[in-house]
Amino acid sequence: MLDLKDVSITFYPNTINERKALDHVSLHLDPGDFVCILGSNGAGKSTLLNAISGSLMMDEGTLILDGMNLSRQPEYVRSRYMGRLFQDPMRGTAPDMTIVENLGLAYSRGKRKGLNKAIRKKDYAFFRERLAELGLGLEDRMQQPVGLLSGGQRQALALLMATIVPPKLLLLDEHTAALDPKTATSVMDLTEKIIQEHQITTIMITHNLKQSLVYGNKTLIMNEGRIVAWLNEEEKKRMTPTQLLEMYDLV
């Protein structure tokens, strides 16, 4: 479903600050895989997601998604097939636009062009139904600007926007890290519910060891731009956070 082969990115090439951000990374995901990525700051986690999404172009390597070679395709082309959430709840939504307008833009991805055409009368009932599933009362605030929402509400909306047209691949870049523990748990539960419902292939960056064992069917650890450890579903089930921490410390 997703195949990365020998993907490399070098920052500041041919200078004294040259650094290999990704060093010949190869990765294969089957349809429906949910992979958690661990690693210290600078390990290459976000760079890997940037390389996949196209916000950073690879120096070398190939990226195949569902049989499509996207290696040299720009970010706007890849966004037709990928959804992404960031750590900052302020990203991924337009604060001055209403909730329904934000959903209209997300729903039009790869379909219709232009906001006026994106929001149709028959879409409203669908948006209201999907918002109600979040359990946050947003279905009764559809005409309010997104900028009035709390961080957790906004992140939940961003999650819905990223998946309202189920993507082939969902990229989660520490999307609960900026939330308080209760809200983070709520958003993570919503995330798992949506992923399972639509069987979305997912890659999630997290620093939470317990979270990396509870969610998903695979966990990998990155260090210095390389994948240095990989846990399959059975290995995850046998692993404790303490054991994972010991493995984490070894790299």
pLDDT over 70 (residue 49): yes
Q: Is the dihedral of CA 223, 25, 38, 158 positive or negative?
A: positive
Task: State which H helix or E strand residue 189 sits in.
Answer: helix 181-198
Percent of the chain having pLDDT more than 70?
Answer: 95
Q: Residue 246: what pLDDT?
A: 82
Which pLDDT band, with edges at 50, 70 and 90, does 61 fall under?
very high
Which pLDDT band, with edges at 50, 70 and 90, does 250 fall under?
low
Give the start-end residues of each E strand in 30-119.
34-38, 60-65, 68-69, 82-85
Nearest C-alpha neighbor of 202 from the set 1, 24, 47, 5: 1
Q: Residue 67: what pLDDT?
A: 96
Average pLDDT for residues 168-175, to the nearest whole number? 97
Percent of the chain having pLDDT more than 90?
Answer: 77
Average pLDDT for residues 169-180, to the nearest whole number? 94
CA pair distance 64, 79, nearest whole angstrom: 14
**What does the DSSP assignment read for 68-84?**
EE-TT--HHHHTTTEEE
Average pLDDT for residues 10-39, to the nearest whole number? 95
Q: Residue 251: what pLDDT?
A: 58
Q: Residue 249: what pLDDT?
A: 67
Overall residue count recorded for the chain in this entry: 251
pLDDT over 80 (residue 198): yes
Average pLDDT for residues 59-88, to the nearest whole number? 96
pLDDT over 90 (residue 244): no
Q: Tell which wins on pLDDT, 3 or 250.
A: 3
Q: Residue 89: what pLDDT?
A: 84
CA pair distance 4, 71, nearest whole angstrom: 9
Q: Residue 241: what pLDDT?
A: 87
pLDDT over 80 (residue 71): yes
CA distances from 192 to 123, 136, 137, 153, 188 (A): 25, 17, 20, 16, 6
Average pLDDT for residues 16-29, to the nearest whole number? 96
* pLDDT tens digits, one per residue of 98-134: 999 999 989 887 554 555 455 677 889 999 999 998 9
**What value does the mean pLDDT of the chain take?**
91
